[in-house]
Amino acid sequence: MSDNNNRVTTQCLRLVSIMETLRSPDGCPWDKKQSASSLKPYLLEETYELLEAIDTGDVDDIRDELGDLLLQIIFMSQIYAEDNLFNIADVAEAISDKLIRRHPHVFADADKDDHAQQWEKAKRQERAERGKNNRLSDRIPKGLPALKQATKVAKKTTTRPVDNLIEKAIVELNLLKQQVKQKSHGEAAAIEDSLGNLLYTLVEMSTSIYLDAEDILRQKTIKVMATADE
């Protein structure tokens, strides 16, 4: 084993040991009373802080925020280990097995050109083996932000080329313009529906050219905030 691998093993085991100590009878009162549910807000917060660090490009911040996110994974794994359900080794084993299973073009003799189809086939088979169906409404997490949820749906359903989607967006924008000009109290629902159609089409456009609408909007909002603060 290389020195780097030894260091990885040592530091990961050290973190697991620290978490075990914090959750022990003589550990930290705050850490001991946490549950997987109570940690959910922190998991979400740490994820967004990591995204911000990546956006700024500060390597030290990225490293620290990755550490904070890793802590949440170790923390939750320890909680479930205390109930004899699974531990961090089971988590690592599960994702390792999944990566090998979903990359047969790397770890087996599958055709590299069929990677996307093989990945989707593996996902469907995994869900079937766990007794879950493959309906799109059950595969997309309900708690995702609306823009991220729309992006995941669009990736599964959008088939039109980007030129058609641009034309569709123009038609929807013109319709929305007319509705806003003629706005009356009874047309509010129609305006809302048209605006929803336009927003979703823009998400489809982003997806069709391999861009992430959530990330695009976040970057734009950051720029607007910076301008507003000047």
Looking at residue 21, what is its pLDDT?
Answer: 97
Positive or negative CA dihedral for 179, 180, 181, 183? positive
Q: Identify the segments of the chain with pLDDT beneath 50.
A: none
- Residues 96-113 pLDDT 10s: 999 998 888 888 887 777
Looking at residue 186, what is its pLDDT?
Answer: 57
CATH 1.10.287.1080 fits 3-102, yes or no: yes
Whether 72 and 116 have beta carbons less than 8 Å apart is answered as: no
Per domain, the residue ranges of the chain are: 3-102, 143-228
**CATH fold label, 143-228:** Helix Hairpins (1.10.287)
Interior angle at CA 84, CA 80 and CA 85, nearest 5: 55
Of 164, 147, 162, 161, the C-alpha closest to 203 is 147
Contacts of 175 (CB under 8 A, 6+ apart): 194
Positive or negative CA dihedral for 108, 113, 114, 115? positive
Whether 148 and 127 have beta carbons less than 8 Å apart is answered as: no
Looking at residue 14, what is its pLDDT?
Answer: 97
Looking at residue 140, what is its pLDDT?
Answer: 83
Domains 3-102 and 143-228 fall in the same CATH topology: yes
